[in-house]
Amino acid sequence: MFPEGNVWTTFMFLLLLATGAPAEKICSVLSNHEVHMGSSFHIYCIFKKECSRLIYQDEVLLNYSSLNSTVVIMRIVNLTRTTTFTCKCRNEPEPCGTDIVPGYPPAVPQNLTCIQEGEFGKVNCTWKTGWETHVKTTSHLWVQGASPVRYGSVAVHDGARSALFPVSGTQSDFSVWVHANNSLGSANSTLLIFSLHEIVKPLSPKITKVECFSRQCQLYPDNTQNIQLVEIRYEEQQDSWNTVSFNNTPSTRNWTITSLNPYHTYTFEVRWKLGPTRGLWSEWTRIKNKTDEEAPVTMLDAWYIEEPSQTGSRSFQIFWRELDKSEARGKIQQYIVTVIEKGTRNTTALLGNKINVSCFPCNVSISAMNSKGQSPPRLIQLKPIALLPYKVSHTRVNNRTVALTWPTPGSADAVTEFLIEWFPVGRKHSPQWTRVERHLNTAYITGLQPAECYEGAVVYLHSSGAKKAIFNRISTWQTAPQQSPVPSVVVKSESVEVKWSEIPPNKRGGCLDHYTIYLKDSASKIQNYSVSYNQREFTISGLMLGHKYTLWVSAWTTAGESPVEHEHLFKHTRETLDTKPLAQLIPVGSAVFLTCLCLLCLCQFSSVHRRISRCCHCLMPSIVPDPANSKWAKECTREKGEMKLQLHLSESSMSEEEPNTVEVEEFPQEKLPEDEPVSTEETLHPVNPPDESTPYQHNITSSYLKSFSNESSSSDATQASRSTDITVDYISTHGVMSGGEDDDNDDDGDEEHEAFDFFPCPKSPFLEPLISIGGKLTLDSVKIDCSDFLDCA
Q: Kindly state whether residues 661 and 783 are assigned to the same domain.
A: yes
Collapsing DSSP to helix, strand or coil, 437 comes out as strand
What's the confidence (pLDDT) of residue 444?
95
- Answer whether 135's CB lies under 8 Å from 101's CB: yes
**Beta pairing partners, 162:** 126, 154
- Asked, for residue 598, whether it belongs to a domain, the answer is no
The Cα angle at residue 446 between residues 441 and 452, in degrees rounded to 5: 115
Closest CA to 270 of 238, 243, 239: 243
Low-confidence ranges of the chain (pLDDT < 70): 1-24, 145-146, 309-312, 411-413, 574-584, 609, 615-793
**Beta pairing partners, 256:** 218
- Which amino acid is present at 706? K
What's the confidence (pLDDT) of residue 633?
62
Contact partners, residue 568, CB within 8 Å, separation at least 6: 487, 488, 489, 550, 551, 552
CA–CA distances in Å: residue 437 to residues 211, 319, 416: 42, 21, 8
The Cα angle at residue 666 between residues 663 and 668, in degrees rounded to 5: 165
Query: Hey, CA dihedral for 233, 235, 239, 241, is it positive or negative?
Result: negative
The Cα angle at residue 88 between residues 86 and 89, in degrees rounded to 5: 165
- Asked, for residue 8, whether it belongs to a domain, the answer is no
Q: Kindly state whether residues 560 and 640 are assigned to the same domain.
A: no
- Asked, for residue 589, whether it belongs to a domain, the answer is no
Q: Kindly state whether residues 188 and 207 are assigned to the same domain.
A: no
Q: Kindly state whether residues 766 and 673 are assigned to the same domain.
A: yes
Q: Kindly state whether residues 135 and 95 are assigned to the same domain.
A: no
Contact partners, residue 492, CB within 8 Å, separation at least 6: 577
Q: Kindly state whether residues 375 and 391 are assigned to the same domain.
A: no
- Asked, for residue 12, whether it belongs to a domain, the answer is no
Q: Kindly state whether residues 643 and 787 are assigned to the same domain.
A: yes
Collapsing DSSP to helix, strand or coil, 224 comes out as coil
Among residues 238, 256, 290, the one where a domain terminates is 290
Q: What are phi and psi of 508, to 5 degrees?
A: -80, -30
Collapsing DSSP to helix, strand or coil, 627 comes out as helix
| Nearest-angstrom CA–CA distance, 626 and 750 | 13
386-387/415-424 β-pairing: unpaired
| Nearest-angstrom CA–CA distance, 356 and 575 | 51
Among residues 357, 382, 407, the one where a domain terminates is 382
What's the confidence (pLDDT) of residue 3?
40
Q: What are phi and psi of 482, to 5 degrees?
A: -85, -10
| Nearest-angstrom CA–CA distance, 115 and 126 | 9
The Cα angle at residue 616 between residues 756 and 767, in degrees rounded to 5: 75
- Asked, for residue 479, whether it belongs to a domain, the answer is no
- Answer whether 498's CB lies under 8 Å from 570's CB: no
466-474/386-387 β-pairing: parallel
Q: Kindly state whether residues 649 and 755 are assigned to the same domain.
A: yes
- Asked, for residue 18, whether it belongs to a domain, the answer is no
| Nearest-angstrom CA–CA distance, 142 and 149 | 6
> Mean pLDDT in the chain?
78
Q: Kindly state whether residues 733 and 699 are assigned to the same domain.
A: yes
| Nearest-angstrom CA–CA distance, 233 and 244 | 6
Among residues 576, 611, 631, the one where a domain terminates is 576
Closest CA to 144 of 171, 109, 118: 171
**What 8-state DSSP symbol labels residue 505?**
G
| Nearest-angstrom CA–CA distance, 666 and 738 | 17
Collapsing DSSP to helix, strand or coil, 660 comes out as coil
**Per-residue pLDDT tens digits for 391-410:** 999 999 999 999 999 998 87
pTM, two decimal places:
0.55
Query: Hey, CA dihedral for 99, 105, 110, 115, is it positive or negative?
Result: positive
Range of the domain at 755: 622-793
Q: Kindly state whether residues 143 and 261 are assigned to the same domain.
A: no
Query: What total of structural domains would you count in the chain?
Result: 7
Q: Kindly state whether residues 679 and 780 are assigned to the same domain.
A: yes
Contact partners, residue 256, CB within 8 Å, separation at least 6: 216, 217, 218, 219
Displacement of CA 254 from its chain's centroid (Å): 50
- Asked, for residue 14, whether it belongs to a domain, the answer is no
Displacement of CA 134 from its chain's centroid (Å): 67
What's the confidence (pLDDT) of residue 582?
56
- Asked, for residue 6, whether it belongs to a domain, the answer is no
CATH number at residue 45: 2.60.40.10
Q: Kindly state whether residues 119 and 95 are assigned to the same domain.
A: no
- Which amino acid is present at 181? N
Q: What are phi and psi of 509, to 5 degrees?
A: 80, 15
